[in-house]
Amino acid sequence: MIRPYLTTTRGVLFDSDCIKTMRLLRPEIADCIFADPPFNLGKDYNSKFNDKVEQAEYYDWCREWILEGTRLLKPGGAFFIYATPEIAVRFAGFLNERLTFRHWIALSMKGTYSRGKKLYPAHYTLLYYTRGEPNTFNGLRTPIPACRHCGRDIKDYGGHRNKLNPEGLNLTDFWEDTSPNRHKKYKARKGVNELKLIIPERAILISTNPGDFVFDPFGGGGSTYQAAEMHGRNWLGTELYDCHYIKTRLTESFPVSVNRTPNFNIMDLFTNENSKSKVLRGRKRKSL
């Protein structure tokens, strides 16, 4: 049956299909879900993954993992989904079935090249929903933006500059200080659009506190797990292909944490029926 590919003191990764795994999990285990799914754009993931199926099939699949995800959210938990605007409007429809809309966060894209009869898409979307009223909302601050050439303020604060909090501006729903993807030089995993760490990091910091539980069904290069680990959140992940990239990344960043028994009981994440699986029972107290 299902066995962890990797454990750390804070997390567990399964090299398995996200929907199959989610179905085995207990409801209401996650304080935050962060998902950056494949976009069905025919991208070569450098793995066996087929990123081009019929549109209807793609959206049926997405509806399924999104609704499974809502089942795993604790009341007050947060669901973030990263997508292109075109896909995000469809995802929003699925999320609206169960959750409460909080924000359409726009992450600016650099570039302006021509897109035929379309405008250049200058932003990606991070949907932010919660299951009812949020349990946790930590307001974040960003540095006051300054010109990188002369160091002066970029914005005009209408005579109220001296009233700004020296710790920075309140984070808004428009993130222009990060590009969506990690530069290929810094990627843990070739072929995968790896997010800049700051994206899952902000989502986690806004919606959880240390010790809370974060789930990311699409591990990719492991950005969410790295952010969770860095900030003392527990995490659960699934990734269908090439999990060794995630293992390498986490081992480099958290050598003391990797291959240790998590500070939570993995079996508690699964429904009774599934936690009776021999493999999981055998793993209960062992270091992996």
Ligand X SMILES: C[S@@+](CC[C@H](N)C(=O)[O-])C[C@H]1O[C@@H](n2cnc3c(N)ncnc32)[C@H](O)[C@@H]1O
Stretch that binds ligand X, among 88-96, 161-169, 217-225, 251-259 (CB under 6 A): 217-225
68 lies in the site for ligand X, by CB under 6 A: no
How many whole angstroms separate alpha carbon 183 and alpha carbon 84?
Answer: 18
240 sits near ligand X (criterion: CB under 6 A): yes
Q: Say how far apart CA 9 and CA 259 lie, in whole Å.
A: 8
Name the strand (E) or helix (H) holding 216. strand 213-216
User: Applying CB under 6 A, which of residues 11, 77, 221, 262 lies at the interface with ligand X?
Assistant: 221
The runs of H, that is alpha helices, within 97-185 are none
The span from the CA of 107 to the CA of 85, in Å, is: 11
Nearer to ligand X, 135 or 188 (CB): 188
Is residue 258 part of the contact set for ligand X (CB under 6 A)?
no
Query: What number of other Cβ atoms are within 10 A of residue 67's Cβ?
Result: 15
25 forms beta bridges with 270
Q: Does 18 bind ligand X (CB under 6 A)?
A: yes
Nearest distance in Å: CB 145, ligand X: 25
Contact between 192 and ligand X per CB under 6 A: yes
Determine the angle formed by the axes of helices 223-230 and 198-207, rounding to 10 degrees.
Answer: 50
**Whole-number minimum distance, CB 286 to ligand X, in Å?**
25
Binding residue for ligand X (CB under 6 A) from 239, 247, 269, 283? 239
Out of 125, 193, 207, 208, point to the residue binding ligand X (CB under 6 A).
193
Give the range of 42-50, 94-102, 125-133, 172-180 binding ligand X by CB under 6 A: 42-50
Q: How far apart are the first and last CA of the chain?
A: 16
Question: Residue 215: which residues within 8 A CB-CB, separation 6 or more?
Answer: 29, 30, 32, 33, 34, 69, 72, 235, 236, 237
**Residue carrying the six token digits 């075109």:** 86
Among 2, 6, 36, 269, binds ligand X (CB under 6 A): 36
Contact set with ligand X (CB under 6 A) = 17-18, 36-38, 45, 47, 49, 192-195, 217-218, 220-223, 238-241
